[in-house]
Amino acid sequence: MNHQTDMYTLANGVGIPCIGYGTWQTPDGDVAVRAVADAIEAGYRYIDTAQAYGNEESVGRGIRESGIDRRELFITTKLWNRNHSYELTMRSFEESMNKLGLDYLDLFLIHWPNPIAFRDRWQEANAESWKAMEELYEAGKIRAIGVSNFRPHHLEALLKNAKIAPAVNQIRLCPGETQDETVSWCRERGMVLEAYSPLGVGRIFEVPEMQDLAEKYGRSIAQICIRWSLQRGWLPLPKSVTPSRIRENLRVFDFELSEEDVQLIADLKGCVGYAKDPDQIGF
Ligand SMILES: NC(=O)c1ccc[n+]([C@@H]2O[C@H](COP(=O)([O-])OP(=O)(O)OC[C@H]3O[C@@H](n4cnc5c(N)ncnc54)[C@H](OP(=O)(O)O)[C@@H]3O)[C@@H](O)[C@H]2O)c1
């Protein structure tokens, strides 16, 4: 397998690289510009950012500095929590595009289903944002639309008014956190599952069972995590600003974990914590 060509296919037929490059907590400015350019140079073709990360401008500069043809890249950003309405979705989408310096986006996600600002009317607020996203999709400004941190009840509510079903759900999936109910729900409906914090936000490196597995396979713990995510059928989004790690995290296509070890990693329940309850977040 070749990581540069390995793709999943979204429900609308759009191809999506099977590993993405994460940018949460990557500081705006030179660090983000350099990191994104390094990631593209290393072979990543999918960059994940968000309005809330505050680094869309630098991500855009990194993309341009890479010199790679825009059409070879897959760029995702996410609607921030305060922007849940038709008007604000439209306006903040334009702002994101200006910051990124792009004339089309590959994937736009609703970042969280139930922000504190809309807690008393989250279904309505999501329906309004989704309508705007559908229009942007139909106008050819976005190649696919999806959600993040949605559980089945949020998706069911969204689908009541949707013309287009979400192509993707981006959720926290890492060793010991497999969100089985949400994963099955999405899978049955043909949604691609993106795995965020695949390294447990850097906490996985202290887990003794993972150290044993790294030794067994002669691979790094990060590579075991990313390989595990792929073997579960997910799309991992590892983040690193360190050039050697950026490259290391892509070298996962020349080994395979046994079925027993895939299960063992799933069973390390809570080893790096669990996803936040999206109905209880304070932002
Ligand atoms: N939709 C959402 O709500 C949501 C939430 C969280 C994350 N995400 C997305 O998912 C991406 C990844 O998740 P994450 O940022 O939470 O964390 P992560 O990818 O699980 O872990 C990142 C941490 O691991 C370190 N690291 C990376 N590769 C390593 C390696 N090979 N060896 C040792 N350490 C390594 C990084 O350090 P250095 O950077 O210092 O190298 C960083 O501290 C985010 O960046 C974001 O794009 C989405």
Percent of the chain with pLDDT over 90: 98
| Average pLDDT over the chain, rounded to an integer | 97
Q: Is the CB of 222 under 6 A from ligand 1?
A: yes
Could you read off the pLDDT of 165-218 as tens digits, one per residue? 999 999 999 999 999 999 999 999 999 999 999 999 999 999 999 999 999 999
The confidence score (pLDDT) of residue 5 equals 55
Could you read off the pLDDT of 134-169 as tens digits, one per residue? 999 999 999 999 999 999 999 999 999 999 999 999
Q: Return d(Cα 102, Cα 80) in angstroms, integer.
A: 18
**Which of 240, 247, 249 gets mutated to test ligand 1 (max ligand atoms within 8 A of its CB)?**
240
Q: Return d(Cα 196, Cα 171) in angstroms, integer.
A: 6
Q: What angle do CA 143, 21, 244 make, to 5 degrees?
A: 155
The answer to whether residue 1 scores a pLDDT higher than 50 is no
- Parallel/antiparallel/unpaired status of strands 15-17 and 192-196: unpaired
Query: If 0-12 CB within 10 Å is exposed, 13-18 middle and 19+ buried, where does residue 171 land?
Result: buried
Could you read off the pLDDT of 31-71 as tens digits, one per residue? 999 999 999 999 999 999 999 999 999 999 999 999 999 99
The pTM of this model reads 0.98
The helix or strand, by DSSP H or E, that contains position 171, with its residue range, turns out to be: strand 168-172
List, by residue number, the catalytic residues. Answer: 53
